[in-house]
Structure 1
Amino acid sequence: MEQNILLTSVDALINWSRRSSLWTAICFPACCAFEMIAANGPRFDLARFGMEILRASPRQADLMITAGTLTWKMAPNVRRIYNQMAEPKWVIAMGACAISGGIFASASYAVVPGYNRIIPVDVYVPGCPPRPEALIYGIQMLQKKIARRKNIDVRKLLQR
């Protein structure tokens, strides 16, 4: 019983540190870039969530915010960027184009109807473009998802 209490607190500590310091890589921002810039500004202040630093290298990031239209030609590059990110990694699809291809999905054969066809998406932020408040709400949803995550498998430890 004592081990379970210790492991639970270690799990909570790991989840707290992961959700409180999300390092972001932005993938193809398109029109949503203006809303991302506004969310990073002083009015909405993403720094209070530990997200003030945008990473240029996916190897340093654990959160990818995807936005804008994705074409089939760019899909392998998105997959490569996602694979370069260290575990654990999360993805937020921001905007109608990232979620479903937007207005371009039905008009062009070259458009991927959503990033979830290429990489797993954890949180969807709807809108065209979504307001900064919606992005912040999506980040809070992701933080709650991270808080519920199990990092240490107790059964594997007890089998040793």
Structure 2
Amino acid sequence: MRSLLRKILATGRVAEPAPVRDAAHKAADPGVLRGSVQVRHVDAGSCNGCELEIASAFGPVYDAERYGVRLVASPRHADVLLVTGPVTRNMEDPLRKAYEATPAPKRVVAVGDCARNCGVFAGGYGVVGAVSDVVPVDVEIKGCPPEPDVIIAALRDLTDR
């Protein structure tokens, strides 16, 4: 027990190193958000597979909040809209309203194959189309569903961290 405690104290906290970016890169890239990023999740009609992975990304194992990425309850407080699923007829207008309510500078991240190109729901009666057919998309995340570390990497690319 004491040897384990000594090893823990000697090692200290071990974390993933931050990506190296120079000041010129940060100033020149208008797509990079500064500081912490507030994320509003919008389910536009998904099967909830992506929601499970998002919950894991913000859970205690992957802990996206350690990188300054936080979920918020209102698009009025958000910098990023994290949209999952193909856009259904019932969610087309609420997605547009959430996009309009998000203050500038705002980013939209399409999570999963369904959000990117409707996936298995393509051509369905209740499906309007992909997220990019309704609102402009800045980042697309591949996968059905994408893994939590891929989601976190895409969100970290939006920040200066």
Aligned length: 132
Counterparts of 1:41 and 1:73, CA distance in 2 = 29
- From the two aligned structures, give the one with the greater strand fraction: 2
Matched, 1:86 2:124: no
For residues 57 and 67 of structure 1, the distance between their equivalents in structure 2, rounded to whole angstroms, comes to: 16
CA distance in 2, matches of 1:78, 1:117: 11
* C-alpha distance in 2 between matches for 1:125 and 1:18: 18
Q: Secondary structure at the match of 1:143?
A: coil
Structure 2: how far apart are the matches of 1:112 and 1:125? 20
Shift of 1:137: 1.9
The CA deviation string for residues 55-95 of structure 1, in whole angstroms up to 9 with x for no partner, is: 11111111100012321232011001100011110011000
Query: How many Å separate the matches in 2 of 1:18 and 1:138?
Result: 12
Equivalence for 2:85: 68
1:20 matched to 2:38? The reply is no
Aligned with 1:20: secondary structure? coil
2:115 to 73, 88, 98: 98
Within-5 A mapping of 1:99-114 = 99-106=116-123, 108-114=124-130
Structure 1 segments of 4+ aligned residues over 2 angstroms from their partners: 17-20, 140-144
Distance 2:145 2:97 in 1: 26
Check conservation: 1:105, 1:112, Cα contact below 8 A.
Answer: no
Superposition CA RMSD, Å: 2.3
Structure 1 residues without counterparts, runs of 5 or longer: 1-7, 148-160
Q: How many Å apart are 1:20 and its aligned residue?
A: 2.8
Question: What is the CA–CA distance in structure 1 between the aligned matches of 2:59 and 2:34, rounded to whole Å?
Answer: 20
1:132 aligned to 2:153?
no
* AA at the equivalent of 1:65: L
In structure 2, stretches of 5+ residues that fail to align are 1-22
Which segment is superposed worse, 114-123 or 97-106? 97-106
Structure 1 length as normaliser, TM-score?
A: 0.74
8 A contact 2:116–2:132 mirrored in 1: yes
Matched, 1:47 2:65: yes
Q: 1 or 2, which has the higher helix percentage?
A: 1
Question: What's the secondary structure of 2:55's corresponding residue?
Answer: helix
Shift of 1:31: 1.9
Kindly provide the CA deviation profile for residues 87-112 of structure 1, in whole angstroms up to 9, marking residues without a partner as x. Answer: 11001100011111110113x13213
Q: Which amino acid aligns with 2:104?
A: E
